[in-house]
Amino acid sequence: MQITPNGHEPIVSPRIVVPGDKLNILGLDRAELKAAIAEIGVPEKQVKMRSSQVWHWVYHRGVTSFDDMSNVSKDVRAKLAEHFIIERPEIVEAQYSNDGTRKYLIRFADGNEAETVYIPEEDRGTLCISSQVGCTLNCKFCHTGTMRLVRNLTAAEIVAQMMIARDDLGEWESPTEGRRVTNIVMMGMGEPLYNFDNVKKALEIVMDEEGIQLSRRRITLSTSGVVPHMERCGQEIGVNLAVSLHAVRDDVRSEIMPINKKYGLDEVLKACANYPGAHNARRITFEYAMLKGVNDSDADARELVRLIRKYKLPAKVNLIPFNPWPGTVYECSEWDQIQRFSDIVYEGGISAPIRTPRGRDIMAACGQLKSASEKKSKAQLEREAAAAVSAEPHHTSTGLT
Ligand code: SAH
Ligand code: SF4
């Protein structure tokens, strides 16, 4: 297991299978599904066929009941239902923004929560998926980084975010044409490369040709620059890479992104240059949050161009106007300055669009994701503290009477 730079070790909560409990097959990979089906006594000769039928129903058709699996024989259906369930985690809250953005707050079996955001655009619909509850990396400008609790999501919990969005958007009937979720970005809560195995397993399920069939070209994984896993990501998962750059000098980057003390700019940019599959038609995206007076000068823009040229990177830059959150010390750069920054990078021959923040009214924009349970738990603590204070005189008076 990877130890994160600040020493925290996010853990995956194991799937708890109490004897007598039914196993949730959502999130099993093909081999695991086959093994599970063999184990419940489906005749050996049928195991391969039955598991591909079940796979198709679960991931291609989105069914949640074995009764609906019409091409599976009745006795096998009964056996499956006796031992298994197909269950999504609970949606605690679904918020719909007036710009079409949808945010889902999802509660997992152990009570932890994470957020998933759907962003419709003219030519695509992007689902922003979380890989962890919270994040250990504590980037100073990121709301998720302020969460105390961190744990890795299981592959099942990552896949379930896609299932939930497709349920809500009602698109199981049209799996490849006229899709609403056309793209996935691993840009929700958490650092996906610190949860490599589960993210890989989940994306393989999503890309499976007999399941959801999303092409790897339509999936982008965003990392804060976990250098040792970047190459593996290209080799083993093969998705597009986005890197949270946010600064062009080590002193500034280390100040706002503590991971830079472990993997500095030079290492990160070299890993980008070596990213398998990156070329001009499939460029690496650098994310750059515009922080007033911190990383947004003309000189920073020129340095960004110089670095991209120096490392010969097939890259584009996404300029993200900083999204403020309660308690942050940063401010978003002035609009004129963002525009100037973008122009300088464009003049250097590199595409640098300014991202329009989406779903601001429901706090769904980049870096604003932070589960309500944590906000609630603080409120809860305050309530408890208040209750304890008001309880004291009550006890005293009881004692007196
Ligand atoms: N942990 C991964 C992916 C999740 S964050 C990573 O850091 O790359 C998605 C993007 O939003 C990252 O580029 C992140 O740096 C950026 N971001 C975080 N907080 C932000 C904020 N308040 N305003 C704008 N962008 C922010
Ligand atoms: Fe974690 Fe990414 Fe936020 Fe940094 S920006 S704290 S790596 S989620």
Is 115 in the active site? yes
Q: Judge whether 319 and 353 are in contact, CB under 8 Å.
A: yes
For residue 367, give the ligand 2 atom closest to its CA.
3
Tokens linked to 338? 């963002």
Q: pLDDT below 70 — which residues of the chain?
A: 1-20, 173-176, 360-401
Taking CA atoms only, the protein residue closest to ligand 2 atom 6 is: 145
User: For 306, how many CA atoms within 13 A lie in the half-sphere containing its CB?
Assistant: 10
Residue-level pLDDT at 273: 96
Please answer whether residues 115 and 106 qualify as being in contact, where contact means their C-beta atoms are separated by less than 8 angstroms.
yes
Best residue among 224, 291, 323, 366 to mutate for probing ligand 2, ranked by most atoms within 8 Å of CB: 224
Beta bridge partners of 240: 220
Closest atom of ligand 1 to CA, residue 242: 8
pLDDT digits (tens, 9 = 90+) for 95-122: 998 889 999 999 998 889 999 999 999 9
| pLDDT for 384 | 54
- At 319, phi and psi to the nearest 5? -90, 120
Which phi-psi region, left, alpha or beta, contains residue 366 (left: φ > 0; alpha: ψ -120 to 50)? beta
Q: Which ligand is located closest to the Cα atom of residue 357?
A: 1
Task: Kindly give the distance from the C-alpha atom of residue 135 to the centroid of ligand 1, in angstroms, as a whole number.
Answer: 11
Could you tell me how many residues make up the chain? 401
User: Of the ligands numbered here, which is closest to the C-alpha atom of 326?
Assistant: 1
What local confidence, expressed as pLDDT, does residue 385 receive?
A: 61
Contact 173, 117 (CB under 8 A): no
Among candidates 2, 4, 3, which has minimal Cα distance to 257? 4
Q: Which of 135, 139, 332, 366 is catalytic?
A: 366
Phi, psi of 247 (to 5 degrees): -165, 155
Taking CB atoms and a 6 Å cutoff, what residues make up the pocket around ligand 1? 135, 139, 141-142, 187, 191, 222-224, 244, 287, 289, 320, 322-323, 366-367
Other Cβ atoms within 10 Å of 152 Cβ, number: 26
Supply 135's token pair: 């994040």
Smallest Cα–Cα separation from 210: which of 51, 45, 26? 51
For atom 1 of ligand 1, which residue has the closest CA? 191
Q: Tell me, yes or no, if 303 is annotated catalytic.
A: no
Cα angle at 350 between 348 and 356, to 5 degrees? 120
The residue whose C-alpha atom lies closest to atom 4 belonging to ligand 1 is 187
State how far the Cα of 383 lies from the Cα of 389, in Å rounded to an integer.
10
* Chain-centre distance for alpha carbon 58: 22
Name the residue at shortest CA distance from atom 3 of ligand 1. 187
pTM over 0.75: yes
Orientation angle between helical segments 30-39 and 44-55, nearest 10 degrees? 130
Among residues 155, 131, 127, the alpha carbon closest in space to that of 219 is found at 127
The answer to whether the beta carbons of residues 72 and 84 sit under 8 Å apart is: no
Phi, psi of 291 (to 5 degrees): -110, 120
Q: Which ligand is nearest to the CA of 325?
A: 1
Please give the distance, rounded to the nearest whole angstrom, from the Cα atom of residue 364 to the centre of ligand 1: 12
